Structure 1
Amino acid sequence: MTQVGEGHETAADEAGPVLTFGAPTAGEVLAERYQLEEHVNNDSAGRQVWRGIDVILRRPVAMVLRHPGGDSAVEMLQAAVAASRVIHPNLVGVYDAIDEQDRAYVVREWVDGESLRDLVATEGPLDPARAISIAHSVADALTAVHATGMVHGNVHPGSTLIADDGRVVLADARADAADSTESDVRAVGGILYFALTGHWPHAEVGRSALTDANRDSAGNPAAPRQIRAGIPAYLDDLTMDLLDRRVAAPVSDALTAELGRLDAAAEDEEYEDVGPLRFVQGGSSSSSEPIRSAPKILVGVGALIVIAIIGLIFGIRAINNTGKTTAAGDTPATEPATGADGGAAQEPAPDPQKIKITADMVRMVDPPRGDRLDGDQAKYTVDGDPSTVWETSRYNSARFGNWKAGMGILINLGEKRSLSEVQVTTSAPGATIDVRTGENDPGDTSKGDEKIVKEYKSLKDETPDKSTGTKSYITGFDPNQKYQYVLVFLTELPRAEDGDRFQISVSEIELSGY
């Protein structure tokens, strides 16, 4: 269970080393009040996180301990004292901050639940309504923090906790001089992006760093709708505007209001009817005009002018044509649609759609020295029935006994298509799944399979990471290229459920595209 302290990763803890001297033990009572019950984990700064009991109030608490205390713990203790002044249902409560010189510790609310990081790792990207609800709660918490003049500085999937009762709690404020209210607000865009795609759009280091977003040659993250089908256009625009520093960021209360409006619309599944952005100035400003970057203002004004001119033209024509009749068979001319710049109007980019794949479009690929015994099960990966699976044989090591490169499912779409994502559902996490593409199928033979493995190109330049859940979402398709042959290739297996050697089952493979 992830608790407080699981925030952004840093290269090292500048304040000091991991707690080792005078290491606490279960049952120990600190400050004659807080009894340690269970060591939960170490946070990204190397501090120990414990579940404990306040023996006076008889309530569970989370305790974050570090060694040494004294001057090196001042920043941690000051942040805790500042956070204790803000009371809000979406902020973790801070109860105490104690410096014993040899060690220091902060006592906080214990939240029964899991972090957004762990939730997405287990369940995969969230549906839009749930992503909106979580982001709304985080923005509301930031509004309370910013109202006191403070900055949170650590809005992250690891510090966003989802309680078992559904409450969303933001934990572990850790602001430094580089943080600002704007960086907090833009981090909410990161929370939305991560919840929708399973990728983190901000740079991060450390052993537990989140999976990076897919990026273009300029380093910009791909929009959520390019990665995953079914994300409303408005939510996609909102997320990318929050991440784009060229677009003016709203203040936190304006973002909270906008997400609240979208959250209410999500309950009735009316995403497309929520209208344009309604960010308004917060604080002392009395303006009710939306916050916009200069280019968006000019585009909006230009569009209104074009609409007014078109309306005037049609109005004059209607007056001139009053009393005239149209000869039988005549059809009034239709004016071509125009955009804000006077040119032809651009059609909005279509949403990625799930591509129908049938049994005759898939086959197993098992390169030389493979036994090719499971080929008849390939059809089960596209039949839409999660109870039917393609199951690998058992191997003595995760890398197929170290005597073959792997095995997988080849999909022939029948024609070249623009693709956005592959979704693979497996029986367990821990598999390495490499998606590769090629130009043809050289034949359903051992030699043909060998050629496929040798010549097909992976979507990723680096070695794919092991899956962290049973649903894996693989992206990286070039939007300017079309594909016909896609290979979902397993290169490393998890241990079998009963612990006897290595094996996995694949129940569903889904492709999304245009």
Structure 2
Amino acid sequence: MTQVGEGQDADESAPPVMTFGAPTTGEILAERYELVEHINNDSAGRLVWRGVDVILRRPVAVVLRYPGGDSATEMLQAAVAASRVIHPNLVGVYDAIDEDERAYVVREWVDGRSLREMVADEPLDSARATAIGSAVASALAAVHATGMVHGNVHPGTVMISDDGRVVLADARTDGNDSQESDVRAVGGILYFALTGHWPHTEAPLRGATAGHGRAAIPDAVRDADGALAAPRQVRAGVPAYLDDLTMDLLDAEIAPPSSDVLAAELARLDVPAEDQFLDNSGPLRFAAEPGEEPSPLAAAGGRKVAIGIAGLLAVALVGLLIGISTLGGDDKDPQTNPVAAPSSSAPAQAEPPAAAVGPLRVRDVRIVDPDSKLRDELDHANKVIDGDRDKGWGTDTYTTAKFGNRKSGMGVWIDLGGPHTVKSVQVSLSSTGATAELLAGTTNPPSTSNGDKQLVQDYKKTRIGQPFEEHDGTTMAFDGFDADTKYRYLLFWITQLPPNDRGYQIDVQEITVQGS
């Protein structure tokens, strides 16, 4: 398994690496991480080792750079930022340490292969390529929801585990990176998965340039004018809708969608073949070809018509994808296509502005504790929404992770004051190792033991996304909301506490809700 962050082996002509601070097999870093095997070096000169966390007895990947200090600042800062985002399609970051003579990042070990290695055998079929693109876009949506940028999306940082999990590794942002370049890189991932060639987008990605070392990625096929050949021109059998989506993402003249919109659309396409109800007229398309029925995202005209694309995209995806925006005007016929061409007998109407997506105001918050008779842990719930991540509500300290085997769990109940389209919920915690889930409901029983029991029973019927089990970060990001559902009441439900030096306890520092 190549755990290399850059997606490239070091150039064979690279100068010798300095030996001061060089690691050795069997060495234990920070009195915790034992180095077992040197895997490879990446194109940035970092060393990647397979290691073992001798305390938790789990395999880890250790990415070292020496010397440390100023030369490792960007690597460490990116690792710290990445550790705050927990998502099933992001590699978990466990630790980041600077020892001056060397610095290293400890992250999750993934048994499997990188996308670069997988496609080296042969290009992927459209279903597998779509699934991988969907996972990468979903990971980026979680990163972008925090305001951060990944900045290092390419076939070497997309990893596929032996059990089929797709994860994105090794964020490496700098001033030239943007969320838009991250999204366009998903087009590069799709292109590479379908053809085995890297399209070298307008902002080429580090470690993926043609001709670099023995592990170079083949350049894309181009015509005499240098124009990029579409996947369908390189390989037969690529569906038209996937071909169009890929090329639109790579086209600098067409504004790309946001990562959450792209993630929602690719997730909609990523369904088993037996459940596939899509036709090739195309889900996410930016323009229609002659003779085809335009998709709801198509602009009138050819592929290169870019004017108004971003506005049409935001409006047309209302209710179809993830409901991140809403249309005004209650007097419109609900059956009317919002982007259909106006009839000859009626003047064209300008589209109403899309509702802004941003933080939603939490109107009320309380602690849910159905198994307590004393109910003495209910104070300070308002601290989870006060904007101060250094202060929050905390549980008592228990003798076991399961609340001393006396409770099924505890939670924070949130009232948004009315129904809203919700995009994501982020929960900041005081430490790692908790197990929790996000639930939703429509009832508001009284804040009593019986009322809390009824609330938990009702809300457990609607889980948002997947639960986090003994997670390795201090932020949980839930983004599995139904695009066609309005939410008012949410419940962050803790089922297992992490250990500390006194027992088992957790603080919920801050909860933020994004939506419109």
TM-score where L is the length of structure 2: 0.53
**1:214 aligned onto 2:221:** yes
Partner in structure 2 of residue 416 of structure 1: none
- Residue matched to 2:87: 88
Partner of 2:406: none
Alignment partner of 2:134 out of 136, 139, 144: 136
Q: CA deviation at 1:298?
A: 8.5
Please name the residue that 2:31 is paired with: 32
Structure-to-structure mapping, 1:396-407, within 5 angstroms = none
Displacement of 1:70 in angstroms is 1.0
- Superposition deviation, residue 20 in structure 1: 2.6
Question: Identity percentage over the alignment?
Answer: 69
In structure 1, the residue matched to 2:119 is 120
What per-residue deviation string (whole Å, max 9, x for no partner) do you get for residues 341-383 of structure 1?
Answer: xxxxxxxxxxxxxxxxxxxxxxxxxxxxxxxxxxxxxxxxxxx
Q: Is the 8 A contact 1:7 1:155 kept in 2?
A: no
Q: How does 1:37-436 map to 2 (within 5 A)?
A: 37-122=36-121, 124-202=122-200, 203=204, 204-205=209-210, 206-207=212-213, 208-264=215-271, 266=273, 268-272=275-279, 275-277=282-284, 290=297, 295=305
Displacement of 1:78 in angstroms is 0.7
Give the corresponding residue for 2:364. none
How much does 1:209 deviate? 2.6
Amino acid in structure 1 at the alignment position of 2:2: T
Mapped partners of 2:304, 2:239: distance in 1: 25
Look up the equivalent residue of 1:228 and give its one-letter code. R
Which has more radius of gyration?
1
> What residue is the counterpart of 1:441 in the other structure?
none
Quote the offset at 1:291 in angstroms: 8.5
Deviation digits for residues 57-81 of structure 1 (CA, Å, limit 9, x no counterpart): 1110000111101111111111111
Cα displacement string for residues 299-344 of structure 1 (whole angstroms, at most 9, x for unaligned residues):
999x966x9679xxxxxxxxxxxxxxxxxxxxxxxxxxxxxxxxxx
Match for 2:151: what amino acid?
G
Partner of 1:367: none
- Measured in 2, the distance between the counterparts of 1:267 and 1:245 equals 35
Larger CA deviation: 180-189 vs 18-27: 18-27
Structure with a larger share of its residues in helix: 1
Distance 1:117 1:19 in 2: 29
SS of the residue aligned with 2:20?
coil
Superposed CA deviations along residues 372-396 of structure 1, whole A, max 9, x for unmatched, are: xxxxxxxxxxxxxxxxxxxxxxxxx
Kept in 2: contact 1:153–1:176 (CA 8 A): yes
In 2, Cα distance between the equivalents of 1:133 and 1:274?
20
Deviation at 1:242, TM superposition (A): 0.3
Secondary structure, aligned partner of 2:243: helix
**1:126/1:215 CA distance change after superposition, 3 Å:** same
CA contact (8 A) 1:17 1:46 kept: no
Q: Calculate the TM-score normalised by the size of structure 1.
A: 0.53
Give deviations 1:488-509, integer Å, cap 9, x for gaps: xxxxxxxxxxxxxxxxxxxxxx
State the one-letter code of the partner of 1:295: V
Paired amino acid for 1:235: L
One-letter amino acid of the structure 2 residue matched with residue 78 of structure 1: Q
Judging changes above 3 Å, is the alpha-carbon distance between structure 1 residues 149 and 94 closer, same or farther for their aligned structure 2 residues?
same
- Counterpart Cα distance in 2 of 1:63 and 1:274: 46
Measure how far apart 1:266 and its partner are. 4.8
- SS of the residue corresponding to residue 279 of structure 2 reads helix
- For 1:17 and 1:69, the matched residues in 2 are separated by 17
Q: Whole-Å Cα distance in 1 between the matches of residues 71 and 263 of structure 2?
A: 36
Kindly indicate whether the alpha-carbon contact (under 8 Å) linking 1:48 and 1:65 is maintained by their aligned counterparts in 2.
yes
- Deviation of 1:297 (Å): 7.2
Q: Rate the CA distance shift 1:191–1:298 in 2: closer, same or farther, 3 A.
A: closer
Look up the match of 2:467: none
The answer to whether the 8 A contact 1:64-1:107 is kept is yes
**Given the superposition, is the C-alpha separation of residues 256 and 291 from structure 1 closer, same or farther in structure 2, using an over 3 Å criterion?**
farther
Structure 1 residue 269 displacement after superposition = 4.4
Residues 258 and 278 in structure 1, CA contact (< 8 A), matched pair in contact too: no
**Partner Cα distance (2:90, 2:229) in 1:** 31
Distance 1:222 1:294 in 2: 15
2:7 match:
7
Q: Structure 1: give runs of 5+ residues left out of the alignment.
A: 280-288, 311-514
What is the CA–CA distance in structure 2 between the aligned matches of 1:157 and 1:47, rounded to whole Å? 18
In structure 2, the CA distance between the partners of 1:304 and 1:84, relative to structure 1 (3 Å rule), is closer
Q: Note the C-alpha offset of 1:277.
A: 2.4
Structure 1 position 7, deviation (Å): 3.4
Give deviations 1:20-49, integer Å, cap 9, x for gaps: 323211111011000000001101211110
Describe the shift of the 1:304–1:150 C-alpha distance in structure 2 as closer, same or farther (beyond 3 A).
closer
Q: Name the amino acid aligned to 2:99.
A: E
State the match for 1:500 in structure 2: none
Contact 1:7–1:43 under 8 Å retained in 2: yes
Change (3 A) 1:175 1:291: farther
Change (3 A) 1:169 1:4: farther
How far the C-alpha of 1:264 sits from its partner, in A, is 2.3
Q: For the structure 1 residues 291 and 154, does the alpha-carbon distance in structure 2 shift closer, same or farther, using more than 3 Å as the test?
A: farther
Alpha-carbon contact 1:5-1:159 (below 8 Å) kept: yes
Does the 8 A contact of 1:18 with 1:47 survive in 2? no
Which stretches in structure 2 are left out of the alignment for 5+ residues?
287-295, 313-336, 346-516
Relative to 1, partners in 2 of residues 1:273 and 1:229: Cα closer, same or farther, differing over 3 Å?
closer
| Corresponding residue SS for 2:60 | strand
CA drift of 1:114 comes to 0.4
Pair 136,18 (structure 1): closer, same or farther in 2 beyond 3 Å = farther
Check conservation: 2:241, 2:285, Cα contact below 8 A.
no
Find the aligned partners of 2:68 and 2:307 in 1 and give their Cα distance. 53
SS in 1 for 2:147: coil
Query: Hey, what's the Cα distance between the residues in 2 that align with 1:49 and 1:10?
Result: 11
- Counterpart of 1:388 in structure 2 is none
Give the aligned length.
297
How well do the aligned residues superpose, as a CA RMSD in angstroms? 3.2
Contact in 1 for aligned 2:8/2:42 (Cα 8 Å): no
Is the CA contact 1:87–1:93 (under 8 Å) kept in the aligned structure 2?
yes
Task: Please report how far the alpha carbon of residue 236 of structure 1 lies from its aligned counterpart in structure 2 after TM superposition.
Answer: 0.4
Contact kept in structure 2, 1:157 and 1:194, CA below 8 Å: yes
